Chain A
Amino acid sequence: MIRLSKSELIFKIVTVLFVTLFGLLAFYPVIYSFSASISGKIAYEAGQITLFPKDVSFQVYELIYNDKGLWISFINTLFYTIFGTAWSIIISALGAYALSKRRLLFRRQFNFLVVFTMWFNAGMVPLYLNYINMGVDNRWGIIVAFGIQGFNIILLRSFFEAIPKEIEEAATIDGANEFELLTQIFIPMSKAAIATVTLFYATSRWNGYFWARILLNDPRELPLQVYMRILIENYQSLFDDMPVDLPYAADSYIFAVLVVSIIPVLIIYPYIQRYFARGVNLGGVKE
């Protein structure tokens, strides 16, 4: 056992406390939401819930289970996430591959077209007018017109650039064409980068709210985030209109909806977390 000096000991205690407190605080709202969602109305409204539930009942989840709109929006979000992520990653990987090639004519200019998108944006009104003008205010529009990020392309490009020339040359001699090079050599060799970028794209698709709210008119096309927000905006009046006195508080319903939105993230979280730390640290890429 190494002897710690007094200053080290104090420092150690303070840091451990600080870090633990932060970690718990980050997670607390999730726990609290779950507890509040399964607690009884009287206990909740008297403010008796701080961590553990009271008068436990899962009735509110029955209400959610029977909420058809919520499930439709859930499936919509799955649809947007799967197809949207696939679309984003395919276009980004293709672009990154071409931009990584030194022999590409006007390579600098094309790269600038991508990098510029990280510096500037047209703003909400021109974007909106363009979306309406191009008719993307529907299911497929949300997939096609959104979700490409210059940062991710640059990240993939720098990975492709790091793949040794010799491998590419050997494959070319064996008769591989450009498409085969990309799908059979470059993509398998940058699995980690592809996974990281896929993660970034999938999170932003899953969590996307603003443009879906603005553009989608058909209630059957709404993603989970928009459906949830509309519930949050209206739940109080929804409950006031209910004829029967419910055993749970109106808030419990909202907490349950929030829990439902968090669960999928919690389920895949352990599988994805080894990728994102790497992705962030790749951020310092150079042109």
Chain B
Amino acid sequence: MKNKNDAEQNKQYTRTIMKDYRLYLILLPIIIWYILWFYKPIAGLLIAFKYYQPNLGVMDSDFVGFSNIASLVEGNFSAQFWRAFRNTFVINVYGLIFGFPIPIVLAIAFSEIRNTAYRNVVQTLSYLPHFLSEVTITGLVLTLLYNGEVTTGVFAQLLIDIGLIGESTRIIQSADYFRPMFIITGIWKEAGYSSIVYFAAVMGISPILYEAIKVDGGNKLQELRYITLPGMAPTLTIMIVLRIGQMLSVGYERVILLYNANTYETADVLSTFVLRIGLESGNQSMGASADLFNSLIGFMLVIGANFISREISESSLW
């Protein structure tokens, strides 16, 4: 009985599709694209459980069970792996503490400027670095902070002049300075652009509320505390939840372009660890194990974040 129903159902599907074949033709390219370039590689994660040999390929290499994962978590590679894990997490926490509030402050400040022409100019200037490439941005950072036999970087010289670093400190080569360098580069590149979302939120607050608090004799700080921040609350909540969902992803391109062997101690993150182990040293199975670990935890974080944002507010990103 069930088979008959299935057959009938299939026939009906076929009929609907044939009648409307153009629509399915239009859908086809994106589905093929995702299968080839997104879903097929996911199957490639299988090599995390295999002894991958390039001449055998993903499917024919031998299964080794969890031994790759074991050597990652508590074997030969564990020291490097956990260091990368810790660095990924620490960089994200710093990014959250220092990077997250600045676009919000910027947005509120932008909204305070009543001269629209002037505001447009500063906003436009502050968005610009977002459109420059990571290679350009990091190229600038590395040259401006360069401090070698002679100090040639203008920012390095400035830091020496105000006594923040010693004459002989090589900022780019020193693990101590990697995180601040990375976070500040990120703020410089993205803070202006990230402020757009918050700016829209501030501008969406009804002016009547501001007039009301003025009539009640509230000062500027009270205005911020009781009108502006509560008005931005939905946006703030979503953005912070989403940010937490991204806790295990770091803009690895920027790390690759800024770090070097001397700064691995603080700079090596999961993606760069995978790059060196999996691609450069040719230990693909080990790299894939770290990928799998990273992707799964990242996935859980994103799903959790989205679930929370659905619960606490009407809007969710998906």
Chain A, 10-42, contact with B by CB distance < 8 Å: what is the 0/1 string?
111001101110111111011011001000000
Choice from A32, A104, A206 contacting B133 with Cβ under 8 Å: A206
- Would you call A171 an interface residue if the criterion is a C-beta within 8 Å of the partner chain's C-beta atoms? no
Choice from B127, B238, B274, B302 contacting A125 with Cβ under 8 Å: B274
Asked if residues A125 and B279 are in contact (CB atoms below 8 Å), the reply is yes
Segment 64-121 of B: residues with Cβ below 8 Å from A: 105-106, 108-110, 112-113, 119, 121
- Min CB distance, A42 to chain B, in Å? 12
Asked if residues A91 and B30 are in contact (CB atoms below 8 Å), the reply is yes
- The stretch of A45-53, A59-67, A187-195, A237-245 in contact with B is A45-53
A15 to B223, CA, bound (A): 15
Choice from A19, A97, A126, A258 contacting B41 with Cβ under 8 Å: A126
Chain A residues whose C-beta falls within 8 Å of the C-beta of B63 in the assembled complex: none
Total A-B contacts with CB atoms under 8 angstroms apart: 267
- Would you call A1 an interface residue if the criterion is a C-beta within 8 Å of the partner chain's C-beta atoms? no
- The stretch of B146-154, B162-170, B175-183 in contact with A is B146-154
Nearest opposing residue in chain B for A260, CB measure: B136
Asked if residues B31 and A254 are in contact (CB atoms below 8 Å), the reply is no
Chain B, 109-148, contact with A by CB distance < 8 Å: what is the 0/1 string?
1101100000101111111110111111001101110100
Chain B residues whose C-beta falls within 8 Å of the C-beta of A120 in the assembled complex: 42, 295, 298-299
Chain B residues whose C-beta falls within 8 Å of the C-beta of A133 in the assembled complex: 57-58
Chain B residues whose C-beta falls within 8 Å of the C-beta of A225 in the assembled complex: 133-136
- Min CB distance, B53 to chain A, in Å? 12
Chain A residues whose C-beta falls within 8 Å of the C-beta of B271 in the assembled complex: 124
Nearest opposing residue in chain B for A227, CB measure: B135
Asked if residues A209 and B220 are in contact (CB atoms below 8 Å), the reply is no
Asked if residues A123 and B292 are in contact (CB atoms below 8 Å), the reply is yes
- Would you call A219 an interface residue if the criterion is a C-beta within 8 Å of the partner chain's C-beta atoms? no
Chain B, 22-50, contact with A by CB distance < 8 Å: what is the 0/1 string?
11101101110110111111111101000
A116 to B295, CA, bound (A): 12
- If over half of A's interface residues share one DSSP class (helix, strand or loop), that class is named, otherwise mixed; here it is helix
Given A129-B284, A207-B133 in contact, is the A15-B112 Cβ separation under 8 Å? yes
Asked if residues B291 and A125 are in contact (CB atoms below 8 Å), the reply is yes
Nearest opposing residue in chain A for B39, CB measure: A113
Chain A residues whose C-beta falls within 8 Å of the C-beta of B108 in the assembled complex: 15
Chain A residues whose C-beta falls within 8 Å of the C-beta of B119 in the assembled complex: 19
- Would you call A142 an interface residue if the criterion is a C-beta within 8 Å of the partner chain's C-beta atoms? no
Asked if residues A22 and B106 are in contact (CB atoms below 8 Å), the reply is yes
Asked if residues A18 and B299 are in contact (CB atoms below 8 Å), the reply is no
- Would you call B205 an interface residue if the criterion is a C-beta within 8 Å of the partner chain's C-beta atoms? no
Binding site for B on A (CB under 8 A): 5, 7-8, 10-12, 15-16, 18-20, 22-27, 29-30, 32-33, 36, 44-45, 47, 49-50, 90-92, 94-95, 97-99, 101, 103-105, 110, 113-115, 117-130, 133-134, 145-146, 148, 153-154, 177-179, 182, 203, 206-207, 209-210, 214, 225-226, 228-229, 232, 249, 251, 254-255, 257-258, 261-262, 265-266, 269, 273, 276-277, 280-281, 283-287
Instruction: Show 20 residue pairs from A and B whose CB-CB distance is below 8 angstroms, ordered by the A residue.
Output: A11-B220, A16-B112, A29-B144, A30-B128, A45-B152, A47-B152, A50-B154, A91-B29, A110-B27, A110-B31, A123-B292, A126-B291, A127-B41, A129-B41, A130-B44, A178-B26, A229-B139, A261-B136, A276-B196, A281-B196
Binding site for A on B (CB under 8 A): 13, 16-17, 20, 22-24, 26-27, 29-31, 33-34, 36-45, 47, 57-58, 105-106, 108-110, 112-113, 119, 121-129, 131-136, 139-140, 142-144, 146, 150-152, 154, 157, 188, 191-193, 196-197, 200, 219-221, 238, 252-253, 256-257, 271, 274-275, 278-279, 284, 287-288, 290-292, 294-295, 298-299, 302-303, 315-318
Q: Which 3 A-B pairs have the closest CB atoms?
A: A123-B291, A95-B30, A126-B44
